[in-house]
Amino acid sequence: MGFTAAEWEDRRARWSDMQGHMGFLKDTAAAYDAPVVIELGVRAGQSTSCFLAAAIERGGHVWSVDIEPPQVPPHWHDTPAWHFLQADDISAQARDWLPGECDVLFIDTSHQYGHTLAELDVYVPRVRPGGVVLLHDTEWEQTGPTPDNCRELDAPGGTVTAALDAWCAANGTAWENRHGSYGIGIIRP
């Protein structure tokens, strides 16, 4: 059976930490003909549903990596437009498996400063001219020992923002923030 657009509509209607960005994520990917999306971090599949809806609509593919098994319906794995690898996204296995070029790079993983910098270093060069890099949780701060202990900020801040600031400064570029739902950082390389 595989993923259906109705599942995206259902997910979009329910609260999640990225609910306010779900239409934006789908529209961003759907702006490309046959989009190629690299998604780093799946978790419950909220962003995955956005990218899959766009990929199916526009004849594209979504390539997702997560260190944990995704918490998505089993039938999603039967979706021809979705390719999933359980691995550390910085590992040689993931780097070799993921496509060499993409239109959309989406990062929502560990939120650790060094890891986020490494993801940017490894994967931004794969973004085609005219493509886009999106990072969730630019308005997020860890308040306890695990990433589940966090709070939403009213403006950019936290480790993802710090990594974006450092990476952009080192690479002579800039990023913009999309406010709400824990924030989305946008780089247009």
pLDDT at 140: 80
pLDDT at 1: 79
Task: With a cut of 90, say whether residue 172 has pLDDT above it.
Answer: yes
Burial degree of 169 (CB within 10 A; 0-12, 13-18, 19+): exposed
- The span from the CA of 170 to the CA of 108, in Å, is 21
Identify whether the C-beta of residue 145 lies closer than 8 Å to the C-beta of residue 153.
no
- Residue pLDDT, tens place only, 61-83: 999 999 999 999 999 999 999 99
Go through the domains of the chain in sequence order and give each one's CATH number: 5-187 (3.40.50.150)
